[in-house]
Amino acid sequence: MQRMREARHMQFTHEQEPAIRSLARIIKLIAFAGTGKTTTLVGYAQARPQARILYLCYNKSVEVAAKQKFPLNVTCKTAHGLAFGAVGTKYKHKLGNLRLTDIARAINSQNWELVRSVQETLNNYLASADEKIGLFHFPAEKLQNERMRRAADSIVEATRRLWAQMCDVNNHATPIPHDGYLKLWALSKPDLSTRFDIVLGDEAQDINPVIAGLLAQQAAYGMGVVVCGDGHQMLYRFRGAVDALDAPWLADAEVHYLTQSFRFGPAAAHVANMVLHFKGERRQLAGLGQPTRIAKMLPKDLEHRTILCRTVVGVIEAALAWVETGAKIFWVGGIEGYNLQDLEDLHALSKGWRERIKGKKLLQDYPDYDQYKDVAFESQDSEMTRSIKIVEQYGKNLPELFAKLRRNAVTDELEASVTLSTAHRAKGLEWEAVQLAEDFSFEPFDPDNDPEAWVDEMNLLYVACTRAMQVLAVNSTVLVIMQEFVDRRDGRKPDAPLAFQKKAPAAA
């Protein structure tokens, strides 16, 4: 136990200690919101100073933060960072987003429905652990349409041609996105055991099958593997993410649970537990932090408040409302991450002001606004549709309003009176006072809900509700859930599974 002494200067809970001391080669750590997952992993690494440990980070910002916390025997890297060094460097000259128009040129088609289907098939392949593109990567929901079923084989073949062009280093016309070289690296079946003894796989509930497969490979190579996460915080199913915590190769892993949160108090934990109750979770999240007040609105005299929105549109709309008060606004992830310039370019295109468009690729792809709208409609591209909504809602005032947003944006959150974020970007973060916006607009007890979509929305609410430390102002959707919980608890309604939950995944 000599190696365990270095971690003793840190104070750990009775839930964290067993995980830190574990001698198991494969460990699964289930950590509810705010329960000290990172602290536990840091303690685990400190307890093994001679081990070469890889902390596989969820994204670049997590990597930067992790380097400030972990000891020197830990290498903090994203999977893309590892893949870029091994494979991505030779594609530097053609790295970039693969647009619908790039795909159309690559497969020589003006059929936008077909182009969109090729894009979806490719994305499904890139996110998968599969070696070759097959019919099983074709969007499953489209197979319900007879016409699309007949076209499926040709779409898969077109996707294979597209992928070949992406992988060709001499083909400069067809870009390869970052997920492309990650896929190529994974296909090479890298053996990280030559460099590391243990890999820590964080946010395992939200990784794609490519990375999940990489972790499974390292376990097969004999490495120690610690996977951690919280299935209730799975937010990126729409990007092809899977909950790797349920992977078959983890069936015999040693399991540890973290359920005690010091971020918030009992009231906030109770709200979170109400959400989790309807998902079938029977373990209780304990709020051991300072008392957290639950309200419908945040107090008006706060020096700083955080507003969490469901959508990017919601964030921009909240910003437009607050900027009129002169508020200094901090945008989580940076203001440019919310596509303001792209929206300004699209606005200029809609007005015929071609000389004002800064992103010239927009003009190359779409000669006029009507064609942009036609492509958006035919391809059902959600980002394009969302952009059209903002441009048409705010009309000619959009450039002036956006200029004001930029003037009032700050990069130091301490200078802001308002922080804005989507709930997706808020995962892993916390604030003293949080307001949930009203754009979480789904009916939690609608019997026609799609089971997977319902789970995704409930997860998003759970994440949003667990960001506040002192005051949580809930929205109308959370109020509906709270009332339903109380009605069932008090016997006014039967506490039975929801009709659409028959296909819902079992809770941890």
- Alpha-carbon torsion angle 281, 282, 283, 284, nearest 10: 90
Consecutive H or E run containing 419: strand 418-422
* Cα–Cα dist 460/236, whole Å: 10
419 marked ligand binding residue: no
What is the model's pLDDT at position 230? 95
H or E element in which residue 228 lies: strand 224-229
* 84 is known to lie in a ligand binding site: no
Q: Is 13 assigned a ligand-binding role in the annotation?
A: no
- Tell the CATH superfamily of the 2-86+188-258 domain: P-loop containing nucleotide triphosphate hydrolases (3.40.50.300)
User: Has 385 been labeled as part of a binding site?
Assistant: no
Which residues in the chain come in under a pLDDT of 70?
Answer: 1-10, 382, 499-508
Question: Nearest Cα to 440, choosing from 425, 458, 466, 416?
Answer: 458
Distance in angstroms (rounded) separating the CA atoms of residues 437 and 441? 9
Supply 327's token pair: 């508020």
φ and ψ of 158, to 5 deg: -65, -35
Where does 409-449 have alpha helices with state H? 423-426
Rounded-to-integer distance, Cα 88 and Cα 292, Å: 46
Q: What is the pTM of this model?
A: 0.82
Residue 31 is assigned to a ligand binding site:
yes
- As annotated, the residues of the chain forming the CATH 3.40.50.300 domain(s) are 2-86+188-258
CA quadruple 235, 87, 200, 252: dihedral sign: positive
Q: What is the Cβ-side half-sphere exposure of residue 440, based on CA atoms within 13 angstroms? A: 29
Task: Give the residue from 340, 295, 314, 328 showing the smallest Cα distance to 434.
Answer: 295
pLDDT at 502: 52
> How confident is the model at residue 467, as a pLDDT?
97
Which positions ≥6 away from 44 have C-beta within 8 Å?
Answer: 7, 19, 20, 200, 226
Task: Give the per-residue pLDDT at 147.
Answer: 84
115/82 Cα distance (integer angstroms): 31
> Taking the CB of residue 125, how many other CB atoms lie within 10 A of it?
24
Q: What is the pLDDT of residue 10?
A: 62
The per-residue pLDDT for 382 is: 67
**Bridge-partner residues for 55, per DSSP?**
76, 200
> Is residue 37 marked as binding?
yes
Give the β-pairing of 431-436 and 418-422: unpaired
Bridge partners (DSSP) of residue 76 are 55
Residue 183: closest CA among 91, 115, 60: 91
- 411 annotated to bind ligand: no
Q: What is the DSSP string of 58-87?
A: SSHHHHHHHTTTS-TTEEEEEHHHHHHHHT
Is 81 annotated among the ligand-binding residues?
no
- Taking the C-alpha atoms of residue 476 and residue 501, their distance in angstroms, rounded to an integer, is 22
- Whole-angstrom CA distances from 333 to 27, 31, 312, 483, 496 are 32, 24, 12, 34, 41
Closest CA to 365 of 340, 337, 346, 339: 346
